[in-house]
Structure 1
Amino acid sequence: TDLVKYKYEGGFKLWECSEDLVEFMTSNLNFVEENVKNKNILELGCGHSLPSIHCLLYCNANICAFQDYNHDVIENLTIPNIIVNLNDEKLLDKTMERCEFYSGDWGFMSEQQLNKFDLILMSDTIYHVDSYDRLYRAIKSSLKKGGKVLCGAKSYYFGCGGSTKQFKEFIQQKEGSNVKIETVKDIMDGTSNVREILLFT
């Protein structure tokens, strides 16, 4: 199964919204220049970590932090994925010095009070409504003042109950006029649910 609540949150599966975020950054170089280059990046629920690896290796991010619910995913998937995408073993040590790794529930992330990330990336993380509060607190405690969140998600998660509409409403209720939410891309390819990329500023 892709998900086992409170045990496994699908980290070994390659979720399509992570590819959407990479495509968005590849196609929007001004966004990368302003929000990724020389910036500190955190990917919540990273799994394969395609978006943050893209930031680390191709967009000259300063620091990339990788968070997943399961330590096994970080150890056996995320880190090997960074290495296999590097293509140059001579750069391995310097590249890994720019990486941070976290495993555990988002409640754990909220306790860290990092407050240092310029951009938080999320792909297919909003499928369960009952996780929104923990996710919100993790974002709130990790994001630098003036930071942004780029979220790739399906418009609705059948069988799980979460949706972009519900998540936007949840964040708006928490932050009010302090947050601006925009859909920067809609993806309707006919092969899956409608997907969106949301930008929170």
Structure 2
Amino acid sequence: MPFRFFAADPDSDDESSVAAPTTNENTSDPGDAAPFLPPVLHPLSTLLPTLPPNIAYNFAPTVPLLPRRAVFDTEMQLKTSDTQLSDLGDHDIRRRIYEGGLKSWECSIDLATYLSDTITTIPSKTLELGCGSALPSLMLFRKMLEEKKGGTIVLADYNLDVLKLVTLPNLVLVWGVHKGLIKGEEKGDFDAHELFSAEAFEKELKEAGIEVVFMEGAWGGDMNQLLGETVEGGKFDLVLGSETIYEPETAGRFTDVVLEAVVENGKALVAAKKIYFGVGGGVDDFVKDVEGRGSYSCHMVRDFKSAGVNREIVEVVRK
């Protein structure tokens, strides 16, 4: 039986029906895993030609609601394409191959709503690690468009396919809502072939001072080095991560990148479950690792109690 991180119906419109992992049937020993993918930078202009001509969407239960590409639409495209993720089968995670970015995760919804509630000044430079559907960053992108405020957003996910199939379409859908091309709060289809122009989209973002950059690959020193070549000093006012610390093997690598990427007066916000049963990670281990390094402090800024596993958002700052 494959490791199941959550048990949502893949064809369901309710992608928020996720639960903490309850099985210890994790994948094979780390020594048997595929090598980590090296980080690679992808400018917006290089990914826009991959946008599907039609995007089926629904709305994530964030506050306010954010549009996102429907899972069934992504899966249909995967079935008809020859990509690294075409043969996932019923796996929700395959270590060092696929880390779950095709679906929206519970904590990303938490973090997106928290940002909507608390952000009064849009950060000039934002990094989201393990972005997947990128709901937290998209909440900031929505605010940028509404307030006509510029800034740079770097969206990093382990898989290029995720960036193409989910992250980019979601970015365009948020823009579509802003432009009035998507109305109401019901699911539907966005005709990108008729309603979207890559050239006009890039021009509009440039005039607004908004830069969006994509990055694939594994967390680690190589990613920090590439971030340094992408954004001045490789430092960000805000670093985001949701459902990124469930795997002990990679949680330390995530923490390395976060702490190196946060500018001196900046902060990181990490949304996660209190504990990931059967996997080994969780908020307490993350906080212990961060504070054990001596120069940083953590505190919980919001918690979510449920019948299942409690969820928290932790803020990380330099002392």
Aligned to 2:262: 143
TM-score scaled by length of structure 2: 0.57
Q: Is the 8 A contact 2:267 2:316 kept in 1?
A: yes
Pick from 191, 197, 201 the counterpart of residue 313 of structure 2: 197
Task: For 2:141 and 2:127, locate their aligned partners in 1 and report how far apart those are by CA, in whole Å.
Answer: 11
SS in 1 for 2:127: strand
Unaligned runs of 5+ in 2: 1-90, 180-195, 229-233
Provide the aligned length of Structure 1 versus Structure 2.
193
Pair member with larger Rg: 2
Task: For 1:161 and 1:92, locate their aligned partners in 2 and report how far apart those are by CA, in whole Å.
Answer: 42
Give 1:93-172 correspondences, 5 Å limit: 93=202, 94-95=204-205, 98-107=211-220, 108-114=222-228, 115-172=234-291
What percent identity do the matched residue pairs reach? Answer: 32
Task: For 2:273 and 2:302, locate their aligned partners in 1 and report how far apart those are by CA, in whole Å.
Answer: 12
Aligned to 2:120: 33
TM-score scaled by length of structure 1: 0.89
- From the two aligned structures, give the one with the greater helix fraction: 1
Task: For 2:251 and 2:217, locate their aligned partners in 1 and report how far apart those are by CA, in whole Å.
Answer: 16
Q: Is the 8 A contact 1:55 1:61 kept in 2?
A: no
The amino acid of 1:144's aligned partner reads V
Given the alignment of the two structures, is residue 70 of structure 1 paired with residue 163 of structure 2, yes or no? no
Task: For 1:180 and 1:160, locate their aligned partners in 2 and report how far apart those are by CA, in whole Å.
Answer: 25
**123-132 or 85-94, larger mean C-alpha shift:** 85-94
Task: For 2:108 and 2:271, locate their aligned partners in 1 and report how far apart those are by CA, in whole Å.
Answer: 7
The amino acid of 1:33's aligned partner reads T
The amino acid of 1:56's aligned partner reads F
The amino acid of 2:303's aligned partner reads D
SS in 2 for 1:20: helix
Pick from 166, 187, 194 the counterpart of residue 304 of structure 2: 187
Task: For 2:114 and 2:135, locate their aligned partners in 1 and report how far apart those are by CA, in whole Å.
Answer: 12
Deviations 1:30-63 (A, max 9, x none): xx124xx142111000000010011112154611
With CA pairs under 8 Å and 6+ residues apart, which has the higher RCO, 1 or 2?
2
User: Over the residues paired in the alignment, what is the CA RMSD in angstroms?
Assistant: 1.8
**130-139 or 61-70, larger mean C-alpha shift:** 130-139
Deviations 1:103-143 (A, max 9, x none): 00012313325222100010000001121221122123322
Task: For 1:137 and 1:196, locate their aligned partners in 2 and report how far apart those are by CA, in whole Å.
Answer: 20
Q: Is the 8 A contact 1:110 1:140 kept in 2?
A: no
Aligned to 1:83: 172
Question: Structure 1 segments of 4 or more deviating over 3 A?
Answer: none
Aligned to 2:201: 92
Deviation at 1:10, TM superposition (A): 0.6
Q: Is the 8 A contact 1:41 1:61 kept in 2?
A: no
Q: Is the 8 A contact 2:123 2:151 kept in 1?
A: yes
Unaligned runs of 5+ in 1: none
Task: For 2:289 and 2:238, locate their aligned partners in 1 and report how far apart those are by CA, in whole Å.
Answer: 20
Q: Is the 8 A contact 1:63 1:98 kept in 2?
A: yes
